[in-house]
């Protein structure tokens, strides 16, 4: 169960508007280190908007989002460029799998290590010893992750044409390349069959154990969320409803109301 | 004042040509999602047809132009049927290169049919017929050109905005796949668009021809200016490029006369680039929405 | 059948060789190409063919390699490439005529072009799709207007060398003139070496972090950003690399032909360059070479002799046909042929078996 260490992500009074529309409304919650947290809510509740604010794709939100890179230091993510969020140890996947179809699976993983490289284009052009060694080091790391996910045999195949379950795995593998502290998964089980969902559940546990990461996920598959999460945040119309253990959330009147008519 | 008016009158003619060509380019861009680099040469090919009827058959310019518009219509349909439709699945960039292929085919065909000499093309109304406006000469032919151009555009806008086929064109332009599913005959729309674009290009060529003679390269400036007009006005509307065309025509005339005939064009282009930096989708264009 | 089998078996090894020792295969390819320089001396080829066809193919290949990085990998289009080729050729000539040594002239021209490329890259962050394409056409047109109108570029054409004859001087001592047949062959070898160098550089870029980042950026902008790929940095880098290669190709043009026209750096050439990489194969180095050969070489070596002016029709039909039937590029024909052959062979075997059973 949850290793309740200190907080790793604090969402503090975040609001986000699109024109006149309030997508996220004064939302606050805290994720602790080592937890698996689910963010749930009916369609259009603003879940992906929250993710986009946290990962700094949207900068115009009100309120504060803070990330604890370790127990001692806390950064305001707003001060971090969208491309540097990954350097803090915060990395995400996307609702519609976003991979490079015309690169091999291995190369797609290496993109995840983009900011870890210390050599630049000039060193790559001349294939300096340092550049070669660095590339080799990351390839080995990618191999290790691919073996861990049981897709090592596919490493030299192109991404395009792979089944959906594999694509989802590749995306998760890519996040692991950046040595993250926290992974944000946008609907990881969507489009997976039951066997794949069960496998994913096991995988997420294993990832937490092996790589010592915190996981925040959006998911519509309630069974999956309730099984896997330590705590669940429920929102509706961008507003906070409840944050509790899966058991308590299921009994929460306000949450049931939000889902009423959806029969989930 | 006389200079100023002369430049304005001059701009009417070139602006009309740019606008017609630009409209053709926008039509193709919106229905086939490709930048039609062959727009100019399709027009040129049919201007050759008109010139041939006038010089070899002794037809009047009116009749010859009508014949050229008919062949233009046919050219558009042929191009769509045997080239564009089979290539419907290729990437947008490859499609653009297909239009380059069309350019080369036309460049090869022209000397085959019409020889390599340049043709003189008469005006609809001879230059001798003109009126004097505050010291500047306004040729009746210029007025005719402008009236015909604006008339054609008015008809086109009416057609696109208020008829069933126009609606079909607009929905094809905004989303071809959905349109097809909703039963819009997108194939016919695309075919008619190519035919219409060819007619517009041919009109542009006939307008420009008396100034430059009919030859293979006659529409290069018009074509490039039409692209610029589309960008300046915005490719998402049909009237934006027309406005852009006249801005470029007047702007070029003024800049080259009042500033410098060497640097005028350069300055005009640079200012449009700077403008684009602040309004990346042109004067009237809208930003397409994107989702993270 | 046996002979074909043996040939196919060796051909099958080719992709593996190319894959595992790319730099060496580029060098081997360069050595083979530079053999062309000797052919005119033993009377197999005309000097004119070497210059107008093969040398130009080498120069355009260098340019197209950069463009392929821009278009194939970064998904960005440029209709102003010809302007930069002109900048390389005319700029080198201008600096040489001002008395600078060749090496300084080349570096200066590359530097200036690179700066303009960086500006376009920054511009591309704001302006996209067809607007960006036409913005680059603006840049190309501006450059063309400057070349044809500004007196420093000599009006019609600009010659390298002095008043009496054309030549370029390497390292301040080594003078080579286009009009000397021996020199011309040496110049041919020099530009071939430059092309091979370009191939190796491009190969190293695309197989590195930079190449992957460029692809991530164009295929999925948001995922790229989430992985730390800075759009500003890589957009600018893509345009700078493409303009540097275009300019470098222009420099080679100046060095080889030593007489540079001002008119030909127009939209047509830019479009042809795009056609070359699309027809040959986006993202493929050998595809680029093949595309340049198909679009410049085939018409000039054969079609023009056979059909005269009408050869344009054949070139046009060729472009259209290749795009319709090989939308991913003609370089993939090898793959398809191998598959067709394999299919044929299994069918033959089945037939034989069938007969045996009967």
Structure tokens at C240: 């700078």
Q: Which residues of A are less than 8 Å from B287 in CB distance?
A: none
Shared domain check, A138 and A29: no
| Whether residue A153 has pLDDT greater than 80 | yes
Q: Which of C208, C216, C227 shows the shortest C-beta gap to A86?
A: C227
Alpha helices (H) in chain B, listed in sequence order? 2-32, 39-57, 61-79, 92-114, 140-162, 164-174, 176-181, 186-212, 220-233, 240-254, 264-278
pLDDT in tens, B208-251: 999 888 998 899 899 999 999 999 999 888 889 999 999 999 99
- Percent of chain A whose predicted confidence (pLDDT) is above 70: 96
C126 to B227: CB separation less than 8 angstroms, yes or no: no
CA distance C122 to C137: 16
Going by pLDDT thresholds of 50, 70 and 90, the confidence category of residue C19 is: confident
| Whether residue C17 has pLDDT greater than 90 | no
- Give me chain C's average pLDDT, please: 90
- Chain B residue at shortest CA distance from C127: B280
Residue A191 within any structural domain of the chain: yes
Residue A170 within any structural domain of the chain: no
| Whether residue A190 has pLDDT greater than 60 | yes
Residue B234: which H helix or E strand, with range? Answer: none
Q: What value of ipTM does the predicted structure carry?
A: 0.91
pLDDT in tens, A156-174: 999 998 999 999 999 999 9
Looking at the complex, does the CB of residue C356 fall below 8 Å from at least one CB of chain A?
no
Q: Which of C205, C216, C231 shows the shortest C-beta gap to A124?
A: C205
pLDDT computed for residue A1 by the predictor: 42
pLDDT computed for residue A2 by the predictor: 42
Q: Which of C131, C139, C319 shows the shortest C-beta gap to B280?
A: C131
pLDDT computed for residue C215 by the predictor: 96
| Whether residue A262 has pLDDT greater than 70 | no
Q: What is the average per-residue pLDDT within C329-351?
A: 82
| Whether residue B292 has pLDDT greater than 80 | no
- Percent of chain C whose predicted confidence (pLDDT) is above 90: 63
Residue that terminates a domain, selected from A122, A141, A165:
A165
Cα angle: C31, vertex C36, C37; to 5 degrees: 95
pLDDT computed for residue C136 by the predictor: 95
pLDDT computed for residue A261 by the predictor: 52
Going by pLDDT thresholds of 50, 70 and 90, the confidence category of residue B290 is: low
Q: How many CA atoms lie within 13 A of C262 on its CB side?
A: 21
Q: What is the average per-residue pLDDT within B25-48?
A: 92
pLDDT in tens, A44-59: 888 999 999 999 999 9
Contacting subunits of B (3+ beta carbon pairs below 8 A): A, C
Shared domain check, A250 and A191: yes
Residue that terminates a domain, selected from A106, A135, A165:
A165
- Give me chain B's average pLDDT, please: 90
Residue A147 within any structural domain of the chain: yes
Partnered with residue A239 across adjacent β-strands are: A236
Shared domain check, A213 and A244: yes
Contacting subunits of A (3+ beta carbon pairs below 8 A): B, C
Domain count, chain A: 2
Shared domain check, A206 and A186: yes
Shared domain check, A71 and A116: no
Domain boundaries, chain C: 49-265
Q: What is the average per-residue pLDDT within B169-197?
A: 86
pLDDT computed for residue A3 by the predictor: 47
| Whether residue C1 has pLDDT greater than 70 | no
- Percent of chain B whose predicted confidence (pLDDT) is above 70: 99
C219 to A102: CB separation less than 8 angstroms, yes or no: yes
- Percent of chain B whose predicted confidence (pLDDT) is above 90: 57
B269 to C141: CB separation less than 8 angstroms, yes or no: yes
Q: Which residues of C are less than 8 Å from B220 in CB distance?
A: 266-267
Structure tokens at B198: 């060819």
pLDDT computed for residue B160 by the predictor: 86
Shared domain check, A249 and A145: no
| Whether residue B53 has pLDDT greater than 50 | yes
Residue that terminates a domain, selected from A112, A142, A165:
A165
Residue A256 within any structural domain of the chain: yes
A117 to C209: CB separation less than 8 angstroms, yes or no: yes
Which is nearest to C262 in space by CA: C145, C108, C100, C113?
Answer: C145
The domain that holds A205 is classified in CATH as: 3.40.50.300
Residue A171 within any structural domain of the chain: no
What residue numbers bound the domain in which A234 lies? 7-89+180-260
| Whether residue A264 has pLDDT greater than 50 | no
Q: Which of A57, A101, A111 shows the shortest C-beta gap to C227?
A: A111
Alpha helices (H) in chain C, listed in sequence order? 2-20, 22-34, 47-49, 56-68, 81-97, 102-123, 129-149, 181-206, 209-219, 221-226, 231-257, 267-280, 285-292, 298, 304-307, 311-325, 333-357
| Whether residue C169 has pLDDT greater than 50 | yes
Higher per-residue confidence, C327 vs C12:
C327
- Percent of chain A whose predicted confidence (pLDDT) is above 90: 76
pLDDT in tens, C225-249: 999 999 999 999 999 999 999 999 9
pLDDT computed for residue C356 by the predictor: 55
């Amino acid at each position: 169960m949850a290793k309740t260490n200190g907080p790793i992500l604090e969402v503090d009074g975040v609001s986000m508007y699109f024109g006149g529309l309030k997508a996220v409304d004064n939302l606050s919650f805290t994720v602790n280190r080592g937890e698996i947290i689910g963010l749930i809510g009916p369609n259009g509740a603003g879940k992906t908007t929250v993710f986009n604010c946290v990962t700094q794709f949207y900068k115009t939100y009100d309120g504060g989002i803070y990330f604890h890179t370790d127990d001692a230091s806390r950064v305001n993510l707003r001060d971090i460029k969208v491309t540097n969020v990954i350097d803090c140890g915060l990395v995400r996947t996307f609702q519609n799998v976003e991979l490079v179809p015309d690169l091999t699976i291995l190369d797609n993983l290496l993109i995840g290590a983009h900011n870890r490289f210390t050599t630049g284009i000039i060193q790559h052009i001349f294939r300096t010893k340092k550049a070669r060694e660095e590339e080799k080091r990351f390839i080995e790391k990618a191999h290790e992750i691919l073996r861990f996910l049981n897709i090592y045999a596919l490493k030299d195949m192109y991404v395009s044409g792979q089944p959906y379950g594999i694509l989802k795995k590749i995306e998760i593998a890519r996040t692991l390349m950046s040595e993250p502290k926290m992974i944000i998964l946008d609907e990881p089980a969507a489009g997976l069959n039951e066997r794949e969902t069960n496998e994913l559940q096991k995988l997420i546990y294993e990832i937490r154990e092996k790589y010592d990461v915190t996981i925040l996920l959006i998911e519509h598959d309630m069974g999956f969320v309730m099984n896997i999460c330590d705590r669940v945040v429920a929102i509706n119309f961008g507003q906070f409803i409840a944050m509790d253990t899966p058991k308590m959330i299921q009994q929460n009147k306000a949450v049931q109301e939000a889902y009423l008519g959806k029969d989930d | 004042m006389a200079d100023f008016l002369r430049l304005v009158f001059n701009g009417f003619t070139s602006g009309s040509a740019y606008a017609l060509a630009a409209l053709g380019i926008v039509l193709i861009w919106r229905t086939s999602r490709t930048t039609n680099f062959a727009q100019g040469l399709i027009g040129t090919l049919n201007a050759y047809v008109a010139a041939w009827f006038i010089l070899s058959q002794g037809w009047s310019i009116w009749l010859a132009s009508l014949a050229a518009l008919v062949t233009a219509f046919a050219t558009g349909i042929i191009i769509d049927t045997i080239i564009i439709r089979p290539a419907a699945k290729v990437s947008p960039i490859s499609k653009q290169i297909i239009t380059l292929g069309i350019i080369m085919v036309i460049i090869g065909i022209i000397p085959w049919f019409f020889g390599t000499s340049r043709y003189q093309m008469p005006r609809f109304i001879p230059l001798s017929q003109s009126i004097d406006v505050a010291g500047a000469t306004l040729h009746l032919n210029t007025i005719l050109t402008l009236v015909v151009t604006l008339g054609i555009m008015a008809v086109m806008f009416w057609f696109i905005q208020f008829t069933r086929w126009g609606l079909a064109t607009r929905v094809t332009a905004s989303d071809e796949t959905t349109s097809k599913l909703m039963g819009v005959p997108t194939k016919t729309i695309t075919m008619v668009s190519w035919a219409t674009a060819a007619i517009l290009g041919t009109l542009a060529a006939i307008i420009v021809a008396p100034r430059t003679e009919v030859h293979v390269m006659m529409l290069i400036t018009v074509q490039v200016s039409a692209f610029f007009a589309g960008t300046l006005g915005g490719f998402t509307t049909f009237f934006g490029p027309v406005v852009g065309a006249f801005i470029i025509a007047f702007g070029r005339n003024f800049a080259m006369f009042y500033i410098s005939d060497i640097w005028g064009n350069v300055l005009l282009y640079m200012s449009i680039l700077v403008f684009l930096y602040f309004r990346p989708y042109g004067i009237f264009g809208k930003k397409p929405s994107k989702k993270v | 059948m046996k002979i074909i089998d043996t040939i196919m078996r060796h051909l099958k090894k080719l992709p593996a060789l190319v894959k595992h020792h790319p730099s060496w295969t580029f060098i081997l390819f360069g050595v083979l190409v530079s053999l062309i320089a000797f052919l005119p001396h033993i009377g197999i080829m005309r000097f004119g063919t070497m210059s107008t066809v093969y040398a130009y193919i080498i120069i355009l290949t260098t340019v197209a390699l950069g463009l392929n990085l821009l278009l194939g990998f970064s998904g960005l289009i440029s209709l102003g490439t010809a302007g930069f080729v002109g900048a390389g050729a005319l700029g080198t000539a201008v600096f040489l005529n001002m008395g600078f040594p060749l090496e300084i002239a080349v570096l200066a021209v590359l530097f200036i072009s690179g700066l303009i490329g960086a500006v376009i890259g920054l511009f591309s962050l704001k302006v996209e799709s067809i607007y960006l394409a036409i913005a680059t056409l603006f840049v190309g047109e501006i450059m063309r207007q400057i070349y044809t109108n500004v007196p420093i570029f000599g009006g019609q054409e600009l010659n390298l060398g002095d008043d009496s004859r054309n030549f370029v001087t390497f390292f301040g001592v080594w003078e080579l003139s286009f009009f000397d047949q021996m020199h011309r062959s040496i110049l041919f070898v020099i530009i071939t070496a430059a092309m091979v160098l370009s191939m190796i550089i491009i190969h190293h870029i695309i197989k590195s972090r930079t190449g992957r980042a460029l692809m991530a950026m164009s295929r999925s902008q948001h995922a790229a950003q989430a992985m730390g790929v800075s759009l500003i940095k890589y957009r600018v880098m893509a345009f700078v690399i493409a303009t540097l290669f275009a300019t470098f190709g222009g420099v080679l043009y100046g060095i080889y032909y030593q007489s540079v026209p001002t008119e030909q750096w127009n939209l047509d050439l830019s479009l042809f360059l795009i056609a070359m990489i699309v027809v040959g194969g986006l993202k493929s180095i050998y595809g680029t070479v093949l595309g340049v050969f198909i679009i410049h070489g085939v018409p000039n070596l054969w079609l023009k002799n056979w059909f005269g002016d009408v050869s344009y029709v054949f070139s046009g039909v060729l472009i259209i046909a290749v795009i319709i039937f090989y939308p991913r590029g003609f370089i993939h024909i090898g793959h398809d042929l191998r598959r067709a052959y394999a299919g044929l062979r299994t069918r033959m075997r089945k037939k034989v078996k069938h007969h045996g059973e009967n």
